[in-house]
Amino acid sequence: PQAPAAPISVPQDCSSSSRVAPSWAPNPEGQCNAYAKEAKNCDSGCGNCFNPGARKGVVCRGQQTGYNCPSEDTAGGDVAFGCMDWTFGSTAQRAAEASYNCRSGKEPVYFGVGTYGTADDAMGGLGVCVRLEVEDLDRPLVAQSINTGFDVAGNQFDLQIGAGGAGAFNTCAGGTGSMFPGTVDPWGCQYGGVDSREACAGLPAYPQDDRAMKAAGDSLVKLCEYAWDKKVRMSGAGRSAGECKYNPTILNAARVKCPEELVSLTQIQRVDEPASFKEPSAPGFPNTAHKCMAQVPGQGVGYCLTRMMDCRKPSGGFKDNVKADLMVPGRKLVQTCTVDGYTRINVACGCKGCYC
């Protein structure tokens, strides 16, 4: 197996050698001929591949490959997962934030990914970046939507954080092919995850294949604790509705241009982006009249910053969920990861021979 990249240096201020967080894609580059049965099939334009020009990555082994690499464990083949360095507060996310914040010279922001609940978009929000102002969060959050979900409502963002809840489609723990060792018990509530900072210590620190996460300088325990420290999650301790029911309120939201530093991590980008990193508020915002009331049965999750971590290949990694004419060439799909949570998969093509 390929050796992981060196740990990312997080710039502490703008006088440091700030840089865009590098990808975790190994060499050699995953060119279209990686999928060739006959070289001529993958010549000009990558044959009929959906995402020619995509960033390098390893080839998913098995009957389904590339962007068709399955999200479920299959006998004798690889599985595609979500990436752990997408998680709020990862070393790569913090390096990307620092690079962008120094470059912009404006109000500093946090970065994140997840699901933006919107019915007003042709792709259900996939690839969209939103700038969120959230109660008790000391900076705005610029987050990219790389997933969709039946359980995500309008005016809600479901943020990937350390042990934020494995949800309906868990591939984090509890199975032989799961990313992390052990059972799901230490992961807390199915929706919401662990309900206290102290509970983070009971999580497995690293995936079953731990080399890449250790090399990155991350651990699941640290990522979990960071989310508590930055107040992107709330506890139900001592509250009437109980554990995992409470979430911060979103005070303002606007669709904005996606920072290159964030797109570098996800590799999905749209051609219909706004022109700037600060745009007018979305319909329903600024929010001065609503509190997140997810803890009350029947009230829904509008205006809530909810949380998740299911480790699963997101919706933006599936070709049928995106519209080619809305996507930047070579960035039509989320670039998913292998079971270590860091090594990127080649998603230029979806089969051998380049005709898929």
DSSP code string of 280-301: PPPTT-S-SS----TTSTTS--
Instruction: Summarize pLDDT for 276-307 with one digit per residue, the tens.
Output: 998 999 999 999 999 999 999 999 999 999 99
CA distance 248 to 137: 9
The pair of structure tokens assigned to 164 is 């934020």
What whole-number distance in Å separates Cα of residue 24 and Cα of residue 178? 20
pLDDT at 59 over 60: yes
| Higher per-residue confidence, 23 vs 301 | 301
Nearest of 250, 246, 256, 307 to residue 284 by alpha carbon: 250
For residue 187, which of 167, 166, 207 has the smallest C-alpha distance? 166
Predicted pLDDT of residue 352: 83
Q: What is the pLDDT of residues 7-20, one digit of tens each?
A: 444 444 565 544 45
Mean pLDDT of 191-215: 98
R_g of the chain computed on alpha carbons = 19
Residue 327's contacts (CB-CB under 8 Å, 6 or more residues apart) are 127, 268, 269, 270, 271, 333
- The correct answer on CATH 2.40.40 for the domain covering 79-331 is yes
pTM of the model: 0.91
Domain boundaries, the chain: 79-331
Lowest pLDDT segment from 48-62, 84-98, 230-244: 48-62
CB 294 within 8 Å of CB 245: yes
* H or E element at residue 97: helix 91-104
Omega into 28 within 30° of 0, i.e. cis? yes
Q: Which of 53-57, 285-289, 313-317 has the lowest mean pLDDT?
A: 53-57
Residue 5 has pLDDT above 60, yes or no: no
- What's the CA gap between 338 and 343, in Å, rounded? 6
